[in-house]
Amino acid sequence: MAEILDGKALAQKVRQEIKEIIAADPLLSARPPCLALLLVGDNEASTHYVALKAKMAAKVGINTREFALPAAVSESALVATIEELNNDPAVDAILLQLPLPAHINTPKMLMAISPKKDVDGFHPYNVGLLHMGLSGIQPCTPRGIMALLAEYKINVSGKRALVIGRSNIVGTPMAALLKRADATVTLAHSKSQNLRELIAEADIVVSAAGKAGLVHGSMLKSGAIVIDVGQNYGSDGTLCGDVDFISAEKKAAYITPVPGGVGPLTIAFLLKNALELRLGNDQEK
């Protein structure tokens, strides 16, 4: 029976550390880190996530400034808002909630955010640092997963790791971080052939495909480490991951649940990134 990797507990630990760092530093206490949250349109899920991020930020002592823009906003108007925040010394970090409306060029907007305020680590400059193995802001979910593995003293060096899903938000940076930790990495996606065989060979499986039931326990190597990043809804409306938890739990050595696994880590490391951006920018002044 697999040991549960408790992302919720680690997220609480990270948030407490952030809170203590801010409280112990007179400069941070006097002017707390400030995270700008940009929301375009009225997507229900996005509205919920932005509100949750603001709530968690307040709990650790990070200030937020929320900007709600209409769904029909022009690219030029959105860029103007981003530039205003880039030039505002009181703003340390900027988050542009995704997805954006179809008429907006998402890469263009992400590139408009200053790399020094890019809390998600999506700017090409920060992506370049990541893939070069250099220090920089890392995407929150992959960073949280690596921290979770470290928390449970799981050494990935030399292990075969399979990442399912190649998004720039999770899959691709996840593969890069595992490679940096000396894992032998395979990145699978919708066009990959023989996925079942790839899963069977993997010591570590990170599934971020967004497809419920994609990974069944019968596919797994005995003793595998299973990280489920999926956020799906089953036929009964309940939240579930990409992995069939009941069958996988019997085969794996470690596994993350959904909910309570990877999800809480994303916001915790978003807040940690915001704090580090503030500290890094302060050092440059």
Q: Active-site residue numbers?
A: 53, 97, 120
**Helix, strand or coil, per DSSP, at residue 57:** helix
3-state helix, strand, coil in the chain (%, to 5): 45, 15, 40
Q: The dihedral of CA 174, 176, 181, 186: what is its sign?
A: positive
Which string of DSSP letters, residue by residue, matches 120-154? TS-SHHHHHHHHTT--S---HHHHHHHHHHHHTT-
The whole-angstrom separation of Cα 179 and Cα 156 is 9
The whole-angstrom separation of Cα 115 and Cα 266 is 19
The whole-angstrom separation of Cα 247 and Cα 255 is 11
Contact 119, 274 (CB under 8 A): yes
Which amino acid, one-letter code, is at 48? H
The whole-angstrom separation of Cα 273 and Cα 253 is 30
